[in-house]
């Protein structure tokens, strides 16, 4: 890993985060730290190998197995949610090639960051993951029954701000 100073910075943030979450968290030799919140949310922190940035991502939902139409509908819904990055609070829904799953991701510069800022970003990130996962799972369930909805039909729970504070 090239960004030694950045890795050390993120290690210190993760140490502080360990105290807050009461978990033993460490950055591995690849610059990755993952942890679970609740029953079904895994969050991964990864120091970029190319830029002094921190990638934050979480698995959302797998593509339906052996169901091309279902996968296309799921990707269409993800693209609707990505529009203007308002519902995603500045993050993005993406697919990692070969993984067969949608993820939610957000990237933030390491320079100018702090443990406190990372905690705020992660709080908002977690809320966003839960909301998006719920919408995508509901959408998958509706499309399986042939009852599709548009993003325009989504309830307006509250305005969403950007993840970065």
3-state SS class at 135: helix
In a domain, 61, yes or no: yes
Quote the domain boundaries for residue 130. 4-144
Give 17-50 pLDDT, tens digit per residue.
999 999 999 999 999 999 999 899 999 999 999 9
In a domain, 151, yes or no: no
Give 62-106 pLDDT, tens digit per residue.
998 889 999 999 999 999 999 999 899 999 999 988 899 999 999
Sheet hosting strand 32-37, strand order edge to edge: 32-37, 41-47, 53-62, 101-109, 92-95
Whole-number pLDDT of residue 31: 96
Counted domains in the chain: 1
In a domain, 160, yes or no: no
Instruction: For residue 138, count other CB atoms closer than 10 A to its CB.
Output: 13
Give 110-138 pLDDT, tens digit per residue.
999 999 999 999 999 999 999 999 999 99
In a domain, 150, yes or no: no
CATH of the domain at 93: 3.30.1460.10
pTM for the complete prediction? 0.84
In a domain, 161, yes or no: no
Rounded to the nearest 5 percent, the helix, strand and coil shares of the chain are 40, 20, 35
In a domain, 158, yes or no: no
């Amino acid at each position: 890993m090239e960004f030694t100073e950045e890795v050390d910075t993120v290690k210190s943030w993760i140490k502080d985060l360990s105290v807050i979450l009461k978990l033993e968290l460490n950055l591995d030799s690849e610059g990755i730290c993952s942890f679970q919140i609740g029953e079904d949310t895994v969050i991964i922190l990864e120091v970029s190998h190319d830029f002094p940035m921190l990638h934050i991502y979480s698995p959302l939902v797998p593509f339906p197995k052996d169901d091309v139409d279902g996968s296309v509908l799921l990707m269409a819904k993800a693209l609707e949610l990505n529009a203007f990055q308002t519902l995603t609070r500045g993050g993005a829904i993406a697919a990692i090639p070969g993984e067969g799953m949608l993820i939610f991701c957000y990237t933030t510069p390491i320079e100018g960051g702090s443990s406190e800022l990372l905690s705020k970003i992660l709080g908002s990130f977690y809320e966003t993951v839960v909301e998006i996962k719920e919408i995508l799972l509901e959408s998958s369930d509706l499309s399986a029954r042939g009852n599709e909805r548009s993003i325009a039909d989504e309830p307006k729970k509250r305005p969403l701000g950007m993840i970065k504070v």
